[in-house]
Amino acid sequence: MHKMAKSHAIPTVPSIVSMLLLLGILMATITTTGAQIGVCYGTVANNLPSARDVIAMYKQYNIRRMRLYGPNRDALEALRTSNIELMLGVENERLQDIASNQASADNWVRQNVANYGNVNFKYIAVGNEIESGPISQYVGPAMERIQTAITKVGFANRIKVSTAVHPVILQNSYPPSQGSFKQSYRAFMDPVIRFLVRHNSPLLLNVYPYFTYIYNRQSVNLQYALFQYPSVMVQDGQYGYRNLFDAELDAHYAALEKAGGGSVRIVVSETGWPSAGNDGSVTNRDNARIYNQNVIKHVKGGTPRRGGPIETYLFAMFNENLKNGDPTEKNFGLFYPNKSPVYPINFN
């Protein structure tokens, strides 16, 4: 944030009009700088700065929200009194135990949440990108157990419980109004949706127009994926879409409406664009900068189907050298491990 310049003519008794104007400017500043953006703090690397240095970077760049994929003692200690809003993940491998045993859920919450009462917890993400299969049956029950546990420690009024999903759950996504969940995911998603409605919690959604483009180059326009298409690309009834990000969100909103979750809000728990990897014409620093900067600008408003700001978490704070899979997986970071920016970006 810029420091305010000193005034050389401050009236001793400010008028009501000037006070109202000042209040309006202050509120506008708060609204602007209280942006909807967080950044995911991934730790699949062996060369990252210390947790204290990372939290200092969040403060330096005015990043007021963080997603942490599992309990990390150093990070939680460093977050104390920072006031950075935190989304904390319950590890996928803990779901069965927590779903089956309230004592396990109580212990997880006591150790990782209640012991850090001066950390600004906002969400607990119970599992990340669970596929339809044996483990999926545990997500809904684990969410219920964690909810009970946070109620016991008196945190239910400040923390929302959810799970993070990805677009593989959709049967249809084009046009967005035809969005619907795959039948194979209904046994997983239906209890989740009922929980979210009952507790007024959001659905956490990992959204990657990058991957949609990479796997559908013949049918998806790159500029549409990068928020750069100059006009409406997809007209869907009364809604016109200029970017793929909005289209993907609204396909999930349409699916939620069909499944009894019309009241559920979506929080984008991951989105990003790699700066290096395979195809340099698509996967490069320019496109990564364009995408992420446009996300920061865009989410101050809503989608065609849903108005209001879109709370969104960019993936990720750092390039992670131990990530498996495609080389691009190691290059989603906004910063190198030495703390220098991969490309210039303005979080405000």
Q: How far apart are the first and last CA of the chain?
A: 8
Contacts 24+ apart (CB under 8 A), 98-105: 98/126, 98/138, 98/142, 98/145, 98/146, 99/137, 99/138, 99/139, 99/140, 99/141, 99/142, 99/145, 100/138, 100/141, 101/145, 102/145, 102/148, 102/149, 104/145, 105/142, 105/145, 105/146, 105/148, 105/149
* pTM of this structure: 0.90
53-89 pLDDT, tens per residue? 999 999 999 999 999 999 999 999 999 999 999 999 9
Distance of CA 132 to the CA centre of its chain: 22
Q: How far apart are the C-alpha atoms of 343 and 255, rounded to whole Å?
A: 36
Written as six digits, the tokens of 255 are 């699916």
Average of pLDDT values for 197-218? 97
The answer, yes or no, to whether residue 234 has pLDDT greater than 60, is yes
What domains, with CATH codes, occur in the chain? 38-330 (3.20.20.80)
Cα–Cα distance, 176 to 167 (Å, whole number): 12
Does the structure show a pLDDT above 60 at 16?
A: no
Please give the positions annotated as active site: 129, 270
Q: What is the pLDDT of residues 132-141, one digit of tens each?
A: 889 999 999 9
Strands 312-314 and 266-271: parallel
